[in-house]
Chain A
């Protein structure tokens, strides 16, 4: 009798699980396993047959200068978006902590890029960056600075992509910090025994540790997003000029969906997965040291 009830209960539980579990298996778990499998073959998508090449795709990748460039670009892009997003996001949140007239409007403005399609705003930025007629160079001229080639030159293209990405994600970080700051209670400040005069010390010893879970969360989210950035790169630069904005993800796209080199493309995808896993492990370990819950 009891077994029957148990079975029935199990059955209804799985009934609730399956509608999500089936797509999860079909479009997430199976594809990841399948990608690992493909990365050991020389499949080119067109032909029905393929050979196993062992670690051939990976060794070819590790000998390819393009791969290291893409890896380096990924690091530059990730760090280049992460630091300004976190630092400026926190700064803005600190400035907006106290209520003032127009706070709602400022909040609305700063957050608005986040909800607009990356493709649409990247098109607008392409126009802003136009070396000859764009407003970016007009602004630089206004301050007496030399004009830049922006997305047309391999020296500045990455900077241009980073600016768009930070512009888009800054408000998101700010909102996160705002709500974290609200939770740092006034009593805690009083208990710390530091008055307003030593505000820097108070910030360092009380605020920073209290908001560390938020910082931790934002670091992970921003990194994962940077590793997966595609839309703005595709619109602004297509990975160019001369590969200067080709990140690992963009290289994956080019190998897979332009060159149909599925083996190499999935090998890059596996590298991306490994990097993500490593980053998470490192961060979770490190977080035990500096995150105070």
Chain B
């Protein structure tokens, strides 16, 4: 009897690890394959039988770094994402603060409108937004990319949820001490809800850095391209219509690996952010 249970338990445990192992391999495989392909020669990559490269072609990475515009795209994406993120945090924190702590007419209506836009497909705004930027001569500019993305509805939600946990009495006490709202927001509320700010920062940074559809609609000059659009251009030129697959894979790896490393160090913020603060119950 006892033996049977023991065997059953071992069986279950092994089964669990096998399933997790299969899924992990399935998930990580494209990344490994990307790296292996990036290190092959053009001949090797076409040979189905060759799983590993005979000699690791680090030259592919050197070529991509020094003889392609990919690093420039990375720079563009970094610059745009950082500026956008700062704007999103400031505007988001301010409006969330007003909604939670300040009494004003139309507060509920305002929140209802924001909530309504949260669900709507963003793409539905693209044609008129495109025309607005065209009228302002902001197509193909960093300014256009940044201002059209300078608020984050997700961020407003996240911060509102967090601010609601801050005791109202604390705000009133600070008001009595003579602090103004701006000071209270950044000196009292922000430190107390730091984890939500970090989560929002990481999530929105990644989203902006990776974004593709909207930037590709409003930019077509090489000078202003962000990473995703630039990588696609590189791919079209070298990959699907050429035979430069190793370089395309090296380019992809160059874009993907820093993000994976960033994620390795910040994993807990993503996980706590997804699991805890953004949940339905606030």
Contact = CB atoms under 8 A, between A and B. Distances in A.
Contacts of B181: 12, 16
Interface in A224-250: 224, 227-228, 230-231, 234-235, 249
B90 interface: yes
B37 interface: yes
Contact of B121 (A120, A216, A227): A227
A214 interface: yes
A24 B212 contact: no
Interface stretch (B54-62, B164-172, B225-233): B225-233
A276 B95 contact: no
A118 B207 CA distance: 10
A28 interface: yes
Interface in B6-53: 16, 19-20, 23-24, 26-28, 30-31, 33-34, 37, 45-48
B140 to A, nearest CB: 15
A135 interface: yes
B67 interface: no
A290 interface: no
A116 B259 contact: yes
B252 A123 contact: yes
Contact of B263 (A21, A26, A115, A252): A115
Contacts of A175: 270-271, 274-275
Given A19-B90, A293-B281, A124 B249 contact: yes
Contacts of B107: 13
* Residue among B16, B28, B181, B252 with the highest chain A CB neighbour number at 10 A: B252
A85 B93 CA distance: 32
A231 B43 CA distance: 30
B125 A119 contact: no
B157 interface: no
A205 B255 CA distance: 46
A117 B148 contact: no
B271 A107 contact: yes
Nearest to A108: B267
Nearest to B127: A256
Contacts of A126: 235, 239-240
Given A10-B104, A27-B125, A124-B252, A92 B20 contact: yes
B119 A276 contact: yes
A96 to B, nearest CB: 7
Interface residues of B, number: 88
A249 B123 contact: yes
B213 A138 contact: no
A35 B124 contact: yes
A123 B248 contact: yes
Contacts of A38: 127-128
Interface residues of B, dominant DSSP: helix
Interface stretch (A50-58, A62-70, A165-173, A184-192): A165-173
Given A20-B156, A175-B274, A34 B128 contact: yes
A31 to B, nearest CB: 4
A125 B30 contact: yes
B104 A118 contact: no
A203 interface: no
Contacts of B129: 27, 31
B233 to A, nearest CB: 10
B1 interface: no
A212 B124 CA distance: 30
Given A119-B212, A214-B280, A231-B213, A110 B228 contact: no
B249 A127 contact: yes
A293 B245 CA distance: 51
Nearest to A135: B33
Given A38-B127, A107-B271, A133 B90 contact: no
A179 B264 CA distance: 19
B174 interface: no
B27 A109 contact: yes
Given A133-B46, A224-B121, A106 B228 contact: no
A16 B280 contact: no
Contacts of A113: 27, 30
B2 interface: no
Interface in B124-175: 124-129, 132, 147-151, 153, 156
A167 B121 contact: no
B68 interface: no
Nearest to A217: B280
Interface string B204-244: 00100110110001000000000111011001000110000
A111 B121 CA distance: 25
22 contacts: A13-B103, A16-B98, A17-B94, A19-B95, A23-B151, A32-B117, A35-B127, A92-B23, A111-B263, A112-B263, A117-B259, A119-B231, A121-B30, A121-B256, A123-B232, A125-B30, A127-B33, A133-B48, A217-B280, A234-B213, A234-B232, A253-B123
Q: Which 9 A-B pairs have the closest CB atoms?
A: A179-B275, A31-B128, A31-B125, A13-B104, A117-B210, A34-B128, A119-B228, A16-B98, A20-B95
